[in-house]
Structure 1
Amino acid sequence: MTRRVCVIDTDPGTDDAVALWLALASPELDVRLVTVAGGNVGLGHTLRNARAIVGLAGQAVPIVAGAEGPLLGAFRSETQVHGADGLAGVALPEGPPATPGIAADAIRALLRAEVGVTLIGIGPATNLALALATEPALIDRVAEIVLMTGAWSEGNITASAEFNAWSDPEALAMLLECGRPVTLATLELTAQALVTRERIDALRAAGGGACLDATARIMSGVPPSRRFAHRGHPLHDPCAIAWLIDPTLFTHRDVHVHVECGGVARGRTVVDRWDRSGLAPNARLLDTLDAEGFFSLLTERLAALP
C-alpha cells in the first residue's frame, strides 16, 4: 500500500480531535506535519489541544503553530459548540512540545522535500493559503487539497456562511483558485455524520484505549444541535479524513465554487451544483455519505489507538 503523505492544518476543536485521531490511526495516511491556527478557540488553546491529541495517540509528528487570525478582518472563536477550552471540557494529558517555527514555513519546507503532498484543511484556511501564496513555485508539488469548509444551502455561523469559510474567506478563495485539485466536505455532507446517543454508546462498546474513551467523552460534551431537533450533532472534520481513507463511502460531483469576501454574505460559498453558470469546475463536492460505514470505520480505527 502506498501511503499518502499529508499535512493536517487544524484548529482543535472537538471534531478536529476526532479527525486527528482517525488520521493517525489510518495506515493509508502518512501524517508528516500538523499545523495549527486559531479558529474554534484561540491559538493558545488550539496549539495546546493539538499537542495533547497527538500525544495521546502516541505519535511523534511535528506540531507547528501558525496564524492567530485571518488574512483580513477580526478573529472570532466558536465556544458555544466547543467550549472555552475547545474540547468540550474534556481534559487530556499534556502533549509533547510544539516544534519551533511558523506553520507556513513548515508547510513550504515539506513541499520542497516531497512531491505529491496532500494538504488537509479542517480549520480556517489561513496557514495553507499563506504557504502557497508566499512560494507559488511549490504549488505543483501539491497532489490534492481536501477541506472541511463551506455550505451550498445555509451556514452555521451566519445565515449563509459556514464557520471555517467565514473565518478566512480570502484564504479559501486563494486555495480554490490555486490550480490544484480541491475537494470540499461541506455542511450538507457532514450533516449526514450525525453523532447520536446510540452511536456514542456503540463507540464505547468497542473497547479500545484512551483515545477512544476521550472521543466518546468529547462527543458527549458537545451540545445537540437545534438544526437536527436536538437528536445529535454533526461530526464535521473527520469526514474530510474519511474521504482520503475510503472514498467508496461517498458520492461526489465536480462544481464551480465562488467565495463571497465582503458584506452580509461574507464567507458564503456559492456552489454551482447544476452548472448554471457555465464556469469550469474548480472543486470536487462530496455529496452523500454512507453514515453507517463512516461510523464503523471511525470505531474500528480509533479502537486500535492507545
Structure 2
Amino acid sequence: METGLIPAIVDCDPGTDDAIALFLALASMDVRLVTVSGGNVPLDRTLANARAVVGLAGKPVPVVAGADRPLLGHHRAETAVHGADGLGGVVLPDGPPVTPGVAADAIRALLRDAAPRSVAAIALAPPTNLALALATEPALAGRLSGISIMAGAWGEGNWTPSAEYNAAMDPEALAMLLEADVPITLVTLDLTAQALITPAVLAALPRDGACARAARAILGAVPPSRRFDHAGFALHDPCAVAAVIAPAMFGFRQAAVRVDTGDGAARGRTHIDRWGRTAHAAKIRMAETLDAPRFFAMLADALQRLP
C-alpha cells in the first residue's frame, strides 16, 4: 500500500531508547519489518519488548528474531541503564506473536521485492542482523536508500573509554556495513549528547494515550548520566530515526570511518576522520549537530499521533 511515508526496516534491541525510537518510527514511517537482536538485554527480552511496543502502537508490523550474539565473541548486556528487563522495570502489555523466521532471511526477502534504493534501514543495535543479510547477498544493498546507524563516537565511548556500546558489541558487523555499497549515515554519541532528556524535557512530553504514557514511564526510569553531571541522559536511538525522516534538523559532514576490530583496549573504537587527515575515502555522512528543540517537538508530535 502506498502511504507517502518512507519504507523502513528497523533493527533494534529494546532497550529504553530503542523503545522510544520504535515509537517514533512507527508513527512517522512505513515500517515494514522490525528485526531484533540480543544487545541491551538478551534476545528473549529484547524480542518481547519490541513486540510490546509494536502492539501498543497498533501497527501490523512483523517482528522477527535475529542474532542472540555478535559474529565473534559473546553477548554482554547493559543493565545499568536499561534494567534487567530492558525497559527499566516498566511493564507493557504483551505484543503480537513473533513472526516465524530469522531476521537476516526476513531482511533479504523484503529487499528482494523492493524497488532500487527505496527502503531505509535503521540500525539501533549491534548491527549483526543487517551485516549477515548483506554479507550473504551483497546485491541487495542496491535496494536500500541508505542505512542510518546509531554507533560509535569520535570522542570517548560509553562502554569502554574507547568504544560506544553497539560498536563494541560487534565491531566486525559494523565494519561490514560501513563497507557496503549503500549510503551510510552515522549517528554517534557526540551527536546524541545534544538530545539530552532533562526533567524539563520529560515534563513537556504528551501525557495522553497509551504510547505517550509508556514513553514517559520508560524515560522516567532511566537514571541520569554521570557524563552530563546527572542533569539528564542522552536519547541515542531516536536520533538515528530522526536523521532519516527529518534530515534538515541535522548538520552533516562527510568523513572517513574505520572500526578497530583488534583484541586490545581499543576494540570497537570508531576512528573518525572528519578533516581529511588520512588517505581513506570520506564516504560516511556524519551527523554532527542537532536542532534539539525541533527534535523533541517532533518526538512529542509522533507520540500524540499514536494510540
Specify if TM > 0.5. yes
TM-score (norm 1): 0.97
d(CA) in 2 for partners of 1:137, 1:275: 29
Residue identity matched to 2:217: R
Higher mean C-alpha deviation, range 62-71 or range 108-117 = 108-117
d(CA) in 2 for partners of 1:5, 1:237: 18
Q: Is the 8 A contact 1:208 1:304 kept in 2?
A: no
d(CA) in 2 for partners of 1:3, 1:223: 34
d(CA) in 2 for partners of 1:197, 1:129: 37
Q: How does 1:121-136 map to 2 (within 5 A)?
A: 121-136=123-138
Unaligned stretches of 5+ residues in structure 1: none
Q: CA offsets per residue over residues 215-255 of structure 1, 9 Å max, x none?
A: 11111100000000000000000001111121111000000
d(CA) in 2 for partners of 1:250, 1:256: 19
d(CA) in 1 for partners of 2:204, 2:122: 28
For 1:278, the equivalent position in structure 2 comes to 279
Residue identity matched to 2:233: H
Q: CA offsets per residue over residues 104-138 of structure 1, 9 Å max, x none?
A: 00000001000221111000000000000011121
d(CA) in 1 for partners of 2:304, 2:138: 40
For 2:203, the equivalent position in structure 1 comes to 201
For 1:114, the equivalent position in structure 2 comes to 114
Unaligned stretches of 5+ residues in structure 2: none
For 2:306, the equivalent position in structure 1 comes to 305
Higher mean C-alpha deviation, range 1-10 or range 66-75 = 1-10
**Is 1:293 aligned with 2:297?**
no
d(CA) in 1 for partners of 2:57, 2:4: 22
Higher mean C-alpha deviation, range 175-184 or range 34-43 = 175-184
d(CA) in 2 for partners of 1:216, 1:175: 33
Q: Is the 8 A contact 1:177 1:282 kept in 2?
A: no
Residue identity matched to 2:302: R
For 1:267, the equivalent position in structure 2 comes to 268
State the Cα distance separating 1:53 from its structure 2 match: 0.4
Q: CA offsets per residue over residues 195-228 of structure 1, 9 Å max, x none?
A: 000111111xx33301111111111100000000
Residue correspondences, number: 302
Residue identity matched to 2:204: A
- Of all paired residues, the percent bearing the same amino acid is 61
Q: Is the 8 A contact 2:225 2:233 kept in 1?
A: yes
For 1:72, the equivalent position in structure 2 comes to 72
d(CA) in 2 for partners of 1:92, 1:253: 39
For 1:3, the equivalent position in structure 2 comes to 5
Q: Is the 8 A contact 1:224 1:231 kept in 2?
A: yes
State the Cα distance separating 1:2 from its structure 2 match: 3.6
RMSD: 0.9
d(CA) in 1 for partners of 2:245, 2:208: 20
